[in-house]
Amino acid sequence: MKQLDRLRTLGLFDARVPRYTSYPTAPVFSAEVGASAQAQALAALDPAEPVSVYLHIPFCERLCWFCACRTQGTKTLSPVESYIGTVEKELALLARTLPEGLRMGRMHWGGGTPTILPPSLIHRLAQAVKAVIPPTGDWEFSVEIDPTMVDRAKISALAEEGMNRASLGIQDFDPKVQEAIGRLQPFDITRACVEDLRAEGISSLNADLVYGLPHQDIARLDDTVSKVLELGPDRVALFGYAHVPWVAKRQALIEEAALPREVARHELANHAAARFTAAGFAAIGIDHFARPEDGLARAAQSGHLRRNFQGYTDDTCPTLIGLGASSISRLPAGYVQNAAATAAYIQRIEAGQLAGARGHVMTGDDLLRARAIEMIMCNFRLDRRALRAAFGKGAASLDPDLARIAARFGDFVTLDSDELRIRDAGRPLTRIIASAFDAHVPDGVRYSQAS
């Protein structure tokens, strides 16, 4: 309890800080960086370096109350098909912009619910992307799958187009928790989805879970973890629920009194983590777990783990091209986000221009701090020697921040001339420690809590 009190004093339960899937974070982006900068950066890409592609499908048949993603509900396929037509037009604009010979090393479909697409649209969309950015021979194609919104025909279509990793949205299997978040998903349906995926040769599976949901307790979450282990995923993401009804209005439907309190939430995360590590998973960063033979675990072991908008990744592509409404591209010069609202995105593309609406051009200091934050988030360690090798004397600009971290966090960290290291007991503070390097703190932005 004494250690928990110390963590509390350092902000674990009340600090609101970014998850640092990018640096600077998206609220820092400016409308001064848009479609023109996007086009210039895309045209200047080196065709010898494969790129990653993220494609956003912002449609759901049901809007889960806990979700804060950019989505919209639909009961018909008409707006979905129209949207795919707009994405095809965006791809046509990219075809005129990208350098010849560019290849795709990774593709990820997120949402929303990508599996809202029927087989015909799955084929149409996948082939449209591959026609503009052909895949490399060893590419990875992953898709976020709602087990209640997929069938064998859709899985077959995705497999035919090259899907080799599936990311299953689970959150929690307890019926009372599911009812409280507006997402009914029986275990039997999820298990049948996994069986269909494996029957189609998709052996790489991710499972996404959430702790801190209403009515969750140790017993309920323990039962969910047992069921997840029965499904046999290679990777697990264990995200903390971010209750931000001022951002996602649908979260107002969740009864705040039913949410686990601070310490209970902390204990839920620790219990689930202990279950996964006891089952042979390696702990990856602050909230992921992977089988030792999985690429994510190997990347963490070798020091090549990275962080992007989907969380932790072993993706080595330096560039990410975002397609669709609200998608963010990570380019050599910085970030560009497509218009967030679907209608605004469509309007820009229909006008014959790329959809970039806001972004950020990276300075040398941004690049240094981005790498420092990524080191902390991925490795719980800032390698000062590597930063000096990459950034020269400029790396010394972090020295005041390092001194403040050492003074504030005491024996939760160690600091010497070679590295800053977060000790095991201090790892719950990782996001707070990473925020000490953040030179961009926008006014009025409320991030999710650190625990």
For the record, the structure tokens of 197 come out as: 């995926």
Share of the chain above pLDDT 90, in %: 90
User: Burial of 385 by CB count in 10 Å (0-12 exposed, 13-18 middle, 19+ buried)?
Assistant: exposed
For 214: left if phi > 0, alpha if psi spans -120 to 50, otherwise beta; the answer is beta
In DSSP notation, 328-344 reads EEEETTEEEEE-SSHHH
Q: What is the pLDDT of residue 451?
A: 83
Average pLDDT over residues 47-63: 95
Q: Confidence band (pLDDT; 50, 70, 90) for 296? A: very high
Q: What is the pLDDT of residue 62?
A: 84
Phi, psi at 65, each rounded to 5°: -70, -30
Q: What is the pLDDT of residue 292?
A: 97
Mean pLDDT for the chain overall: 95
Q: Confidence band (pLDDT; 50, 70, 90) for 374? A: very high
pLDDT score of 284 more than 90: yes
Q: What is the pLDDT of residue 258?
A: 95
Average pLDDT over residues 182-207: 96
Q: Which residues lie below 8 Å from residue 134, measured CB to CB, with a gap of 6+?
A: 103, 104
The shares of helix, strand and coil residues in the chain, as percent rounded to the nearest 5, are 45, 20, 35
Question: Nearest CA to 360 among 330, 390, 339?
Answer: 330
pLDDT score of 443 more than 80: no
Q: What is the pLDDT of residue 96?
A: 97
Q: Which residue has the higher pLDDT, 71 or 82?
A: 82
Largest pairwise CA distance in the chain: 61
Q: What is the pLDDT of residue 72?
A: 83
Phi, psi at 117, each rounded to 5°: -70, 130
Q: What is the pLDDT of residue 335?
A: 98
pLDDT score of 435 more than 70: yes
Average pLDDT over residues 75-90: 96
Q: What is the pLDDT of residue 1?
A: 63
Average pLDDT over residues 170-183: 96
**pLDDT digits 0-9 by tens, 378-433:** 999 999 999 999 999 999 999 999 999 999 999 999 999 999 999 999 999 999 99
**pLDDT digits 0-9 by tens, 218-252:** 999 999 999 999 999 999 999 999 888 888 888 88
Q: How far apart are CA 401 and CA 409, in angstroms?
A: 12
**What's the pTM value of the predicted model, to 2 decimals?**
0.95
**pLDDT digits 0-9 by tens, 150-163:** 999 999 999 999 99
Q: What is the pLDDT of residue 45?
A: 98
Q: Which residue has the higher pLDDT, 343 or 446?
A: 343
